Structure 1
Amino acid sequence: MDARNGQAEPLAPETVDQTSPSSQETSPDAPQTGEDAASGKSKRSLRPLAMVWRELFNYPGRMVTAGLALLTTATSTLAIPYGFRQVIDQGFAQGADHGVIRNWFLMLLGVVVVLAVATAIRYYSVSWLGERVIADIRLRVQSHLLSLAPSFFEENSPKEIASRMTADTAVIEQVVGSTVSVALRNVIMAIGGVIYLFALAPMLTAGLLIAIPLVILPITVFGRRLRAVARKSQDRVADIGAMTSEVLGALRVVQAFNQEGREAGRFAGAVESTFETGRQRIHIRAVMTGVLMFLIFGAITAIMWRGAIGVAEGTITGGTIAAFVVTAGIVAGAFGSLTEVYGDLVRGAGAASRLAELLAERPAIAAPARAQAMPEPGRGKIAFEKVTFRYPARPDVAALVDFNLTVEPGETVAIVGPSGAGKSTLFQLAERFYDPQGGAIKIDGVPLTSTDPAQVRARIALVPQEGVLFAASARENLRYGKPDASDEAIWEAARAANAQGFLSQLPEGLDTFLGEDGARLSGGQRQRIAIARALLRDSPILLLDEATSALDAESERLVQDALEHLMQDRTTLVIAHRLSTVRKADRIVVMDGGQIVEQGTHESLAQAGGLYARLAALQFDAAQFDAARADKV
């Protein structure tokens, strides 16, 4: 859900002056962001592009090639007015030698050839850099995102972040692959042209330079407003991407509740907001361009007027004034292009600042500087010692309070209790997706905060409540936790999870593409693949979060039998709402309000008359009622 729907998104401020806490951080890996990057001061308005420049320096050879080609095209362009001057002054004079005329025109033709070749080289090199750099930035941002803790994505919409990876990187690609090249070429031509103008007519050129401060002032004034609106425009585009992804991902729910009209209206509101922001940006840029064009060409016109008088008085030759006119046109065109390019650079800086904010985020969960190695081989003992934990998004509610639980190697412990009791929180903490505010969690005697999270997770296989699959083949989904698994091992895990039957019937077997989130499979089939994936990982600790909830009665029985066999040598934690699935657990832990209220075997707890007995009575009575009703039918 985007910010318009009520979820706070610190990384997508409405304007550049509204900086997020995360954007205040700096790191060696990313440029300063937030208030510093989004400063209204024009001298800092392009500072976020420093991230892009650093990536460019990874390819010095290509940059040198592009730079030389760029310099060649700029100087070749400026050589054309010089050739015109010589042709007019020497070739158009009465009685001029035909050989001289030929030589100067051949020189002009040579300049054109050099210009064409250099332009082709420049275009290829700069475009290559644009594609390569944006690929590197995408890889870098994605790699960094994968290192962030889940708590970060509770406070920031993953869909909005995904939009940054597409829309913002596309803007940066345009900047690197086109805008920067155009800007540098025009800067070279502007500087070189002014130098040549001084050589031709110092007095006229001095008058031309007086107009430059009149050009810089509007750039400063308009550029400040343009940057703020450009950043806001990028945020609105991201909103559209996030909303589209959200609605299409839940299309069945939208259509089931007949909410197509509502969603269309909501999307229309987002589109109109984007259009209005874009209109403001275009308006500012149009006014800025018009003002600058008037100032630039007005100054040139006035100077040309003075030059024409000089020709009439005989103080300037015809060739000189012709070269001056052509060069001044090139300089004016360069300055005019720079005003338009500046707007693109500002947009690129806005996009870069949004990506820099992501790179500036520090992972809440990371390995310590001197990580303690986990003992080998892993035994699978898990201990929660006086653990107190609150989710970052809900700091006022304690998910666990002074929680103590030890699970011995090879023991199967079932976790039951009402919704919100803290059952799933145990799994989140055991895999170190979060760190507790109090107490310690240990695996094989090692506190999780003292070791590398990757080593912790390597000892755990998880089956989530809903089988999460990726848009890949069945084989790739099955061996997701063990990429080097053989087909024989895959089929063995599939048989254990009762998945062999439907997998063997897929059109292309294990190579069959399963669709987005496994859309080509039923819910039960997706869950059985998730179970097989966890079994194939062959870790000493197995976490089953309602692992059989999506299976029919027959499949549940077959999978349960397989799991009971495979759990013999593993430490297993089982979360189950259906108590019939945990009767054979070595121990049942009953949770309520983030604490253990009961523990024991099924028989002892059923006879104790506590919370477990009440939950069991409700479920088993309901099951008996359903069975009796089925018999009557």
Structure 2
Amino acid sequence: MSKSTTSSTQPDPRTAKGSLAAFKGLMPFLRPYRKQFVLAAIALVFAAGATLAIPYAFKQMIDLGFAPASGPRNIDNVNATFLALFGVATVLAVATAARFYTVSWLGERVTADIRDAVYRHVVTQSPEFFETTQTGEVLSRITTDTTLIQAVVGTSVSVALRNTLLFLGGLVMLFVTSPKLSSIILGLLVLVVVPIVLFGRRVRSLSRASQDRIADASAMAGEILNAMPTVQAFTHEKLEATRFGQLVEGAFGTAMKRIRARSLLTMIAIVLVFGTIVFVLWLGAHAVLEGAMTTGDLGQFVLYASIVAGSIGALSEVMGEAQRAAGATERLMELLSVKSPIENPSKPFALPARTANGAALALNDVTFSYPSRPEVAALEHLSLSIKPGETVAVVGPSGAGKTTLFQLFLRFYDPQGGSITLDCVDIRQLDLHTLRGAIGIVPQDTVIFSADAMENIRYGRADATDEEVIQAAKQAAAHEFIERLPEGYKSFLGERGVRLSGGQRQRIAIARALLKNPPLLLLDEATSALDAESERLVQSALEAAMVGRTTVIIAHRLATVQRADRIIVMEDGKIVETGTHASLVALGGIYANLAALQFHNVHVTH
């Protein structure tokens, strides 16, 4: 089982410079919401300003309200001070609520946009990407990583900006209150920043490693859950559970290293910051006793020092969250930067108008190797011309290159040499939707979606009416068994079609292809999973469907290809025999040997 990442999605060490560098990739997702950021900033400034006004109100209350003076004036001062304090608290409450609502909205909105962008990008990737990238890895990035970014955009950025304002504002007010004590506290706080920065880098690297381990576990779980029948058939439940447990424990161990580093960072920050504050307040207490400061000044200094200390502590917490989100952002940006080798042409050609007979298809000296196996030629200097309306069967041993032909027809890959034309147009000059819209395929492994029977067939053509869906089902001999389902065409077919037999899933796929009504039809073992009766029904339906279109059939069961206009025999990526069933049997070559093995010398009419 392969690793879950490809070289195209491996992290580039040059990008791992720091949190700010990593977050640059988020800018395209943040720019559309400048207005909301401005509103959040305004609310943030008002909230920070109200917070910074509270210590000054307390100073006024202490110095004017409780200092020795005549009674009535003191009561008036106390009343006015408390009324002002309530006003400040009201402003703080409204601004905080507005800030929370705005930044939470931004977090949800930006995260939704990122998830949508990543998913839209991933579904446009060629099969080359999915050869070596597990779906669990992609899902981990779309879910877990975007959740971390949501926490940063929706909470941490706001908290960081708020505490930065409080730190700067509190620092200014400390100097206004007592320049001497503030100079001492500032010099000591500079020493506090050094260990915070050093440990912050350590947390960031561990955060990235933690996310990678979680993605590995998620990828393996997705792979195994999709293959449960095979796992259970080989009685590997305990083995797979153990393997998953080892990955989970590995992720836990990496996470604990990150948590220990963050815990140590928090402890160091709190001890150093509050140690500094306590020391300076001790100096301040002596200044009051010596008459160099008023009691109100000391009280104000204490509150501003608490605000500064609290803001530094909050910023260290936010730094830890930012380190985790920076790693997540890098992983998502790596995924978004992956380029598919299969791209639409800048100026696509149009296909000629469809004729009554179907499409012409040709391969001209095609050579192709899969990207994951570049040293092995899947097709080698292969040329083939198929006329409109012709039915061509492709047979040969496993690994001969039959399925590769279909993947090239659909332009899942581009050949390294030669060209493929559809109605005399190089398929590389066609828009991908135009090309694939002209091709209907019934794959060997039928995909059934978690939807009802009607929607599964309608997948062939999204704008088809219910009547057209039912007609396609009738042509594919699927109507009767669908009608017998508990809710007919509205019956849910289960995840991956678990409620259907193999033959029923195959007929759903055939109905889907017939509904699309393409000029070129590709059948990959289209009747392989059918019993004798279903095969007879489907074979007659397919023969009717082949009228008016070009058909290419891959089949190991030679009984399904005997009526083809031409049979192509492939071996090792080359065409080694061409002819009809009768002529190839008479030739006595590879096809004749295959026929002898399957028919056991039973006479077959042609």
Bin of the TM-score, shorter chain as denominator length: over 0.9
In the alignment, the residues of structure 2 paired with residue 444 and residue 258 of structure 1 have an alpha-carbon distance, to the nearest angstrom, of 51
**Structure-2 residue corresponding to 1:91:** 65
**Structure-2 residue corresponding to 1:318:** 295
What is the CA-CA distance between 1:52 and the residue it aligns to?
2.7
Alpha-carbon contact 1:37-1:45 (below 8 Å) kept: no
In the alignment, the residues of structure 1 paired with residue 285 and residue 296 of structure 2 have an alpha-carbon distance, to the nearest angstrom, of 12
What 5-or-longer segments of structure 1 have no aligned partner? Answer: 2-6, 12-19, 24-32, 625-633
Out of 331, 339, 352, the residue aligned to residue 362 of structure 1 is 339
Out of 404, 415, 440, the residue aligned to residue 425 of structure 1 is 404
Alpha-carbon contact 1:46-1:346 (below 8 Å) kept: no
Out of 598, 611, 631, the residue aligned to residue 590 of structure 2 is 611
Describe the SS at the equivalent of 1:50: helix
Describe the SS at the equivalent of 1:129: helix
1:236 pairs with 2:213: yes
Alpha-carbon contact 2:135-2:222 (below 8 Å) kept: no
Aligned in 2, Cα 1:507/1:62: closer, same or farther, shift over 3 Å? farther
What is the CA-CA distance between 1:71 and the residue it aligns to?
1.8
What is the CA-CA distance between 1:22 and the residue it aligns to?
4.5
**Structure-2 residue corresponding to 1:127:** 104
In the alignment, the residues of structure 2 paired with residue 537 and residue 212 of structure 1 have an alpha-carbon distance, to the nearest angstrom, of 70
TM-score by length of 1: 0.92
Describe the SS at the equivalent of 1:398: coil
Describe the SS at the equivalent of 1:368: coil
In the alignment, the residues of structure 1 paired with residue 473 and residue 263 of structure 2 have an alpha-carbon distance, to the nearest angstrom, of 63
Out of 300, 308, 319, the residue aligned to residue 342 of structure 1 is 319
What is the CA-CA distance between 1:623 and the residue it aligns to?
8.1
Out of 177, 191, 194, the residue aligned to residue 168 of structure 2 is 191
In the alignment, the residues of structure 1 paired with residue 160 and residue 568 of structure 2 have an alpha-carbon distance, to the nearest angstrom, of 67
Out of 538, 547, 561, the residue aligned to residue 526 of structure 2 is 547
**Structure-2 residue corresponding to 1:62:** 36
Alpha-carbon contact 2:136-2:221 (below 8 Å) kept: no
In the alignment, the residues of structure 2 paired with residue 407 and residue 322 of structure 1 have an alpha-carbon distance, to the nearest angstrom, of 92
In the alignment, the residues of structure 2 paired with residue 269 and residue 522 of structure 1 have an alpha-carbon distance, to the nearest angstrom, of 36
**Structure-2 residue corresponding to 1:26:** none
What is the CA-CA distance between 1:21 and the residue it aligns to?
4.9
**Structure-2 residue corresponding to 1:455:** 434
**Structure-1 residue corresponding to 2:330:** 353
Aligned in 2, Cα 1:219/1:376: closer, same or farther, shift over 3 Å? farther
What is the CA-CA distance between 1:413 and the residue it aligns to?
0.2
Out of 436, 461, 464, the residue aligned to residue 482 of structure 1 is 461
C-alpha deviations, 1:201-253, integer Å up to 9, x for none?
A: 11111111112331221132112221111000001111221222222222222
**Structure-2 residue corresponding to 1:77:** 51
What is the CA-CA distance between 1:172 and the residue it aligns to?
1.2
Aligned in 2, Cα 1:67/1:467: closer, same or farther, shift over 3 Å? same
In the alignment, the residues of structure 2 paired with residue 196 and residue 380 of structure 1 have an alpha-carbon distance, to the nearest angstrom, of 80
Matches within 5 A, 1:437-448: 437-448=416-427
Deviates more, 1:295-304 or 1:437-446: 295-304
Alpha-carbon contact 2:4-2:216 (below 8 Å) kept: no
Describe the SS at the equivalent of 2:547: helix
1:284 pairs with 2:261: yes
What is the CA-CA distance between 1:382 and the residue it aligns to?
0.8
1:182 pairs with 2:159: yes
What is the CA-CA distance between 1:512 and the residue it aligns to?
2.2
Aligned in 2, Cα 1:240/1:533: closer, same or farther, shift over 3 Å? same
Letter in 2 for 1:295: L
In the alignment, the residues of structure 1 paired with residue 326 and residue 471 of structure 2 have an alpha-carbon distance, to the nearest angstrom, of 53
Letter in 2 for 1:59: Y
C-alpha deviations, 1:426-457, integer Å up to 9, x for none?
A: 00000100000101111111112222222111
1:117 pairs with 2:91: no
1:568 pairs with 2:547: yes
Alpha-carbon contact 1:399-1:421 (below 8 Å) kept: yes
Letter in 2 for 1:114: V
Describe the SS at the equivalent of 1:588: strand
Q: Once the two structures are aligned, what percentage of the paired residues are identical?
A: 52
Out of 464, 467, 471, the residue aligned to residue 443 of structure 2 is 464
Letter in 2 for 1:267: F
**Structure-2 residue corresponding to 1:398:** 377
In the alignment, the residues of structure 1 paired with residue 193 and residue 27 of structure 2 have an alpha-carbon distance, to the nearest angstrom, of 24
1:52 pairs with 2:26: yes
Letter in 2 for 1:390: S
Following TM superposition, where does structure 1 have runs of at least 4 consecutive aligned residues deviating by more than 4 angstroms?
20-23
Letter in 1 for 2:29: E
Out of 480, 484, 489, the residue aligned to residue 501 of structure 1 is 480
Deviates more, 1:202-211 or 1:592-601: 202-211
1:34 pairs with 2:12: yes
1:601 pairs with 2:566: no
**Structure-2 residue corresponding to 1:532:** 511
Aligned in 2, Cα 1:593/1:568: closer, same or farther, shift over 3 Å? same
Letter in 2 for 1:203: K
**Structure-2 residue corresponding to 1:168:** 145
**Structure-2 residue corresponding to 1:254:** 231
**Structure-1 residue corresponding to 2:178:** 201
Letter in 1 for 2:55: P
Alpha-carbon contact 1:400-1:422 (below 8 Å) kept: yes
Alpha-carbon contact 2:5-2:134 (below 8 Å) kept: no
Alpha-carbon contact 1:46-1:345 (below 8 Å) kept: no
In the alignment, the residues of structure 2 paired with residue 509 and residue 76 of structure 1 have an alpha-carbon distance, to the nearest angstrom, of 65
Size of the alignment, in residue pairs?
598
Aligned in 2, Cα 1:622/1:480: closer, same or farther, shift over 3 Å? farther
C-alpha deviations, 1:432-483, integer Å up to 9, x for none?
A: 0000010111111111222222211110011100110111222221111211
In the alignment, the residues of structure 2 paired with residue 260 and residue 290 of structure 1 have an alpha-carbon distance, to the nearest angstrom, of 44
Describe the SS at the equivalent of 2:418: strand
Alpha-carbon contact 2:134-2:223 (below 8 Å) kept: no
Aligned in 2, Cα 1:10/1:263: closer, same or farther, shift over 3 Å? closer
1:580 pairs with 2:559: yes
Describe the SS at the equivalent of 1:269: helix
Letter in 2 for 1:409: P
Across the aligned residues of Structure 1 and Structure 2, the Cα RMSD in angstroms comes to 1.6
Letter in 1 for 2:62: I
What is the CA-CA distance between 1:622 and the residue it aligns to?
8.8
Letter in 2 for 1:278: A
What is the CA-CA distance between 1:37 and the residue it aligns to?
2.3
Letter in 1 for 2:66: F
Letter in 2 for 1:392: P
What is the CA-CA distance between 1:272 and the residue it aligns to?
1.0
What is the CA-CA distance between 1:97 and the residue it aligns to?
2.8
Alpha-carbon contact 2:288-2:298 (below 8 Å) kept: yes
Out of 314, 332, 351, the residue aligned to residue 374 of structure 1 is 351
In the alignment, the residues of structure 2 paired with residue 252 and residue 450 of structure 1 have an alpha-carbon distance, to the nearest angstrom, of 42
**Structure-1 residue corresponding to 2:251:** 274
Alpha-carbon contact 1:388-1:400 (below 8 Å) kept: yes
Letter in 2 for 1:396: E
**Structure-2 residue corresponding to 1:333:** 310
